Structure 1
Amino acid sequence: MPAVAEMLKPTEAAVVSRVSLRDVNRAIDERILPEAFVSVDNGRHVLAGACSFISFYFETAKRLTSEERLFAIRTVESKLTRARGLAWAALLREDWTVRDEFLTIDLRPFLKNTSDRMSDLEASREMVTSSSDVLGGAPVIRGTRIPVYDVAASVAADHPIDRILEAYPSIDVEKVRLASIYAEANPLRGRPRATGDLPEGSVIVSDRRVPRLRKAGRSS
């Protein structure tokens, strides 16, 4: 099981918190997260356990004021600090109820969801491997030559799951799900590498080139 104290990249924290990358950066920049749960020494990183606070803050925005949400986070801050060395199962046995006059907030469901998503993230990491001997080191699904980003791209393009499994018969539904999680947590940077190779079975119908239209206002 992944450690509560693991430090996650912002993209990983976004996956575990189920919020946007922008919201993770907001949580850091606006000090929504206590400084003890954030590291900026070698790139931005967020404590895995604190992702539950990010999730709580943004998911309850329509029901609680900012002050109420921050109060809840500050109230249990010390408890998470003390529990950093615990496993998630032990963490979930703690009482995460916050009370303030008439207001009662239970943060345990947010920690449980974070724990589940950390398990998914770890499973996606274990599923993916890379070697210079296989597809030039591109990340592939373990035991196959299937690029994990190709599978994730099919999911992102809303291809039906049966079509994806037909295209990649050596994987199953769970591996397709984990491929999407891995790609979201580790997004590719820059433009895709250009290649002159066509996918197997492709046929060139026409190689006619269409001239680019000139912008209005330019002299001929």
Structure 2
Amino acid sequence: MPAVAEMLKVSEAAVVSRVSLRDVNRVIDEHILPGAFVSLDSGRHVLAGACSLIALYFESARHLTSEERLFTIRTAEARLASARSLPWSALLREDWTVHHEFLTIDLMPFMRGARERLDDLAAAREAMASSPDILGGTPVIRGTRIPVYDVAASTAAGASTERILETWPNLDAEKIRLATIYAEANPLRGRPRVFSDLHEGSVILTDRCVPHRGRRDEVPD
């Protein structure tokens, strides 16, 4: 699994923190996350262990004030900085309670949640493959020629697991889940690609034509 000290892309950090990409960029831009946990070299990256603090900041917003959340993050900063060389198993044996006036805040649920989602991210990476010899380097599910982003797009479009398995019988529910995680952590850039042919093994889930609607100021012939 990713180490505590691994630097994640912001899209990966969003998945592990269970927040939006916009939220991750916000904690960087507004210096909510300590600078020691952020790298701006060759793109934006966030310390894997710090994803627990991002999750805390947004998930506890209904219960803690901004001041209380920032105090908690600043208090945890020194602990996490000193423990960043430790494996996650050792990190989870640390005391992650923070005391602020009359409040006692337990960070352990956020640490465990980040650890679990990092495990999922590692499994998603391992389940995918990319080779110039297979679909021109398009990421596929390992051992198949099934494009990862096609599976993820089907899930995003609301296709059930059963329907996706009818389309790609070589998959299973876990591979579908991991494909979705991988695609979310590694979003495609630019406009969607247009394929003239379906990929091998694909079938059309729906085939619907949407009539063109002219501009309101167009006058019919």
- Normalised to the residue count of structure 2, the TM-score between the two structures is 0.91
Secondary structure at the residue paired with 1:41? Answer: coil
Report the Cα offset of residue 42 of structure 1. 1.3
Change (3 A) 1:172 1:215: same
Change (3 A) 1:143 1:65: same
Report the Cα offset of residue 11 of structure 1. 0.5
Q: Identify the residue that residue 65 of structure 1 maps to in structure 2.
A: 65
Distance 1:169 1:198 in 2: 16
Q: Identify the residue that residue 134 of structure 1 maps to in structure 2.
A: 134
Report the Cα offset of residue 76 of structure 1. 1.2
Letter of the 1:118 partner, please give it: L
The answer to whether 1:216 aligns with 2:217 is yes
Report the Cα offset of residue 194 of structure 1. 2.5
State the identity as a percent: 67
Report the Cα offset of residue 198 of structure 1. 4.8
For the pair shown, the structure with the greater C-alpha radius of gyration is 1
Secondary structure at the residue paired with 2:71? Answer: helix
Q: Identify the residue that residue 94 of structure 1 maps to in structure 2.
A: 94
Secondary structure at the residue paired with 1:19? Answer: coil
Secondary structure at the residue paired with 2:169? Answer: coil
Distance 1:198 1:174 in 2: 24
Q: Identify the residue that residue 153 of structure 2 maps to in structure 1.
A: 153
Number of positions where the alignment pairs a residue of Structure 1 with one of Structure 2? 217
After superposition, where does 1:1-220 map in structure 2 within 5 Å? 1-198=1-198, 213=214, 216=217
Distance 2:91 2:5 in 1: 11
Distance 2:66 2:198 in 1: 52
Computed over aligned residues only, the root mean square deviation of the Cα atoms, in angstroms, reads 2.3
Distance 1:134 1:180 in 2: 20
Measured against aligned partners, the alpha-carbon deviations of 1:188-218 in whole angstroms (never above 9, x if no partner) come to: 111122232256666xx9x9xx787355179
Distance 1:211 1:217 in 2: 13
Distance 1:196 1:45 in 2: 36
